[in-house]
Amino acid sequence: MGKLHHIIEAQQFDRRALQEIFLSVDKMADWMVQEDMWMKKEAQVSLSAEEKKERQRSRLEMQRGVKGKRMFSVFYQSSTRTRASFETAMKILGGEVAVSFSSEQEFSNTARKKALEDTVRGLGLLFPHVIVLRHPHAGAAERAKEVSSGVPIINAGDGPNQHPTQAIADLYTIRNLFKQIDGLSIAFVGNLFSSREIRSLCYLLAEYDVDIYAVSPDMLKLRQDVRDCLNKAAGVRLFEVDNLEEIVGKVKVLYQARIPGKASGGDTFVVEDQMFSYREIKKRYTINDQVLKKLLKGSIVMDLSFRPEDSLDLKNVPLVCYTQIQNGLFVRMALLKMILDSI
Ligand code: CP
């Protein structure tokens, strides 16, 4: 892979680039495990001179290129996991989170009214080394990139368009649990039209040999651009179906897309002027006990919006959402280091 600068969309990453990123993520994960061990040991007994030296050496290596650099965390939409993992990653690597906005309310009236471009230009004058941007509109990260005077932009979610770093974390999770991605069958279920994580993940999966089952009502299916990409990809077989129970016995990965009504607490939600009943969509397109009974042994369930009160018996769900979240930290550490090391 050439130098990594902006991260805007998943299509930037081919199979080779992903392999390179995964190796770098492996290093971050190993380092964090080791660092955590040293910290715990140090709290009880002091480290030997040898251990102290080794700890210092590996910390210097991990933080090289990032230490002392500034990240601006510019979130026009709220976020828990993405923002927390980027900010934690930066701090672990010895960098600073110099600016951190966490929702549109935190922007001044002027900034809210001004074009995103003006805000990015203005922030660029404050000497950031990288800007992490979440925005409600599709294409916002690309717009920010166009006006950024050399400061790398990382897309942390732009409307329903893309969430490339989450997709890399999800793919890394799959690769780690199954040791390889080729040969897997993966089902996405729910509102596939609006899921930026799944859009980005589909673009990444187009680089591999996989079967993809897209399970959704017709009006909420994957957007045309993603379907075109998957249909053209040499190694992908795409099956669009609307009955989860029929296909669940064929897949190793079952990825639940967020159903919007759940978050807003409403009975209905609207996508592209079309109204949907939350209850109806949830009944037919979420993972329930019937579905779980048919899951293949060794399969996993990925669901970033998972809440224990959603009636599933936790013991029976091979849920990996906590692994997804932790891998999100390691992935963001690796990506920040790759970007910042080269500027
Ligand atoms: N992964 C993800 O997008 O979660 P947040 O909305 O909490 O950032």
The predicted pLDDT at position 70 comes to 98
Same domain, 35 and 180: no
- Cβ–ligand 1 distance for 325 under 6 Å, the answer no
The reply to whether 2 falls in a domain is no
Same domain, 311 and 332: no
Per the model's pLDDT, the better-predicted residue between 75 and 282 turns out to be 75
Range of the domain at 305: 164-324
- Cβ–ligand 1 distance for 304 under 6 Å, the answer yes
Same domain, 104 and 183: no
The pTM of the full predicted model, rounded to 2 decimals, is 0.95
Looking at ligand 1, which residue's alpha carbon is closest to its atom 6? 79
Mean pLDDT value across residues 216-233: 96
Backbone angles phi, psi at 256, to 5 degrees: -90, 120
Give the count of alpha carbons within 13 A of 111, CB side only: 15
Q: Which ligand 1 atom sits nearest the alpha carbon of residue 157?
A: 3
Per the model's pLDDT, the better-predicted residue between 287 and 148 turns out to be 148
The predicted pLDDT at position 310 comes to 61
The 10s digit of each residue's pLDDT in 209-223 is: 999 999 999 999 999
The token duo for 133 is: 């941007």
What is the rounded distance in angstroms from the CA atom of residue 242 to the CA atom of residue 64? Answer: 49
Looking at ligand 1, which residue's alpha carbon is closest to its atom 4? 81
Mean pLDDT value across residues 109-118: 81
The reply to whether 96 falls in a domain is yes
**Ligand 1 probe mutation, 158, 166, 303, 321, most atoms within 8 A of CB:** 166
The 10s digit of each residue's pLDDT in 35-63 is: 999 999 999 999 999 999 999 999 999 99
What is the rounded distance in angstroms from the CA atom of residue 73 to the CA atom of residue 70? Answer: 10
Same domain, 318 and 196: yes
Task: Determine the 3-state secondary structure of 181 from DSSP.
Answer: coil
Same domain, 212 and 270: yes
Mean pLDDT value across residues 224-237: 98
The reply to whether 3 falls in a domain is no
Per-residue buried b or exposed e for 74-111, using 16+ beta carbons within 10 Å of the residue's own CB: bbbbebeebbbbbbebbebbbbbbbeebbeeeebeeeb
The predicted pLDDT at position 265 comes to 60
Same domain, 191 and 304: yes
The reply to whether 237 falls in a domain is yes
- Cβ–ligand 1 distance for 82 under 6 Å, the answer yes
Same domain, 174 and 148: no
The reply to whether 5 falls in a domain is no
CATH number of 19's domain: 3.40.50.1370
The reply to whether 245 falls in a domain is yes
Mean pLDDT value across residues 122-145: 97
Same domain, 200 and 293: yes
**Ligand 1 probe mutation, 74, 199, 304, most atoms within 8 A of CB:** 304
Percentage of the chain lying above the pLDDT 90 cut: 78
Same domain, 54 and 183: no
The reply to whether 1 falls in a domain is no
Same domain, 63 and 48: yes
DSSP sequence for 66-134 = TTT-EEEEEESS--SHHHHHHHHHHHHTT-EEEEEE-SGGGS-HHHHHS-HHHHHHHHHTT--SEEEEE
Say which residue the tokens 């790398």 belong to: 152
Q: Which ligand 1 atom sits nearest the alpha carbon of residue 78?
A: 6
- Cβ–ligand 1 distance for 153 under 6 Å, the answer no
How many structural domains is the chain composed of? Answer: 2
Same domain, 209 and 300: yes
The mean of the pLDDT values for the chain is 92
What is the rounded distance in angstroms from the CA atom of residue 86 to the CA atom of residue 53? Answer: 28
Same domain, 204 and 274: yes
Q: Is 303 within 8 Å of 208 (Cβ atoms)?
A: no
